[in-house]
Amino acid sequence: MLGVETSCDETGVALLRWEPQAPGSGLLAHALYSQIRLHADYGGVVPELASRDHVRKLLPLVREALAQAGLTPADLGGVAYTAGPGLVGALLVGAAAARAMAWALGVPAIGVHHMEGHLLAPLLEPDPPAPPFVALLVSGGHSMLVEVEAIGRYRLLGDTLDDAAGEAFDKTAKLMGLPYPGGPALAKLAEQGRPGVFRFARPMTDRPGLDFSFSGLKTQVLLAWQQSDRSEQTRADVARGFEEAIVDTLVIKCRRALEATGTERLVIAGGVGANRRLRETLAAAGRQDGFRTYFPRLAFCTDNGAMIALAGAIRLAAGQGQDEAVRVQPRWDLESLPAVAAAT
């Protein structure tokens, strides 16, 4: 199975041999190209530039992955690609290329939900979680808590009402003058900060519910920074206080979701899932409360082709084929996906 990811600013390709009992053992190759340098001058992703760069990079990455695995295009049995959500132009590049390759090779192709790919990424690890579990999906513009009864049977427990966690990281970093991409830069700076110097609100934790809202926190941090002496140590202290507020909020909501569903397994996926403080704090909460945490390896927290290949392989193995039309869905409800008869 060839997996193709082009939903935003990373071109990802992977090759996966479908092994139902141990999906991760079948990963043969993966290659990734990041457009960070392309968008750095603009302080954010420029959709048209992203689309054009996917056109330039996708097929060379496919050739690279095939070479890594020692395979040829004739060895492919199927092609999976991200069909949404994401930037429409970027999605169309991957969809058109994937459909064309599948048609030329006479193999099936399937469009994959980007967030389902993230949700299933921990299945690529040696000790994968088995449903039911709760998933915290923190990727780009998404902060979601999802109850997973089985693969394809998803119930949205909580969603972001404005800025998602990843957006809050990036926007706050930009307000504080940190380089693009801001999220990782802010997290790195927070390691030098002193705990307790700045304490910010834990948004929407003072009321029932599992939704998220981080736009007010961003404003609170901006005001604190503007009213400070703006020294390098203060910058690090503000970053530490902001990161702690985000992490504490996510942990509180995860604990609530696990209690509400009665499950004892928590999957964390998406770019913010690579944050060291979040991983450590949730692992500690799991030891205290008696639930297990499952993270993908750091390389598979951000966008990648392996998670797309896996999600596509699972659905094709369940007989969920699609016609040959090139379709993408920039907005796509995760709960609308059909269930998979046999999970793995």
Annotated binding site for substrate: 137-141, 170, 183, 275
The size of the chain, in residues, is: 344
Distance CA 119, CA 110 (A): 17
Q: Judge contact between 239 and 186, C-beta under 8 A.
A: yes
**Residue 295 has which token pair?**
């993270």
Instruction: List, as residue ranges, the binding site.
Output: 114, 118, 137-141, 170, 183, 275, 303
Q: CB 122: neighbour CB atoms within 10 A?
A: 26
Q: Which residue has the tokens 């998933």?
A: 135
Distance CA 145, CA 89 (A): 28
Q: Judge contact between 308 and 65, C-beta under 8 A.
A: no
Please give the order of strands across the beta sheet that includes 2-5. 27-34, 10-16, 2-5, 79-84, 109-113
Q: What is the DSSP string of 106-134?
A: T--EEEEEHHHHHHHGGGGSSS---SSEE
Instruction: List, as residue ranges, the binding site for Fe cation.
Output: 114, 118, 303
Q: Which residue has the tokens 């901006």?
A: 222
Distance CA 312, CA 279 (A): 27
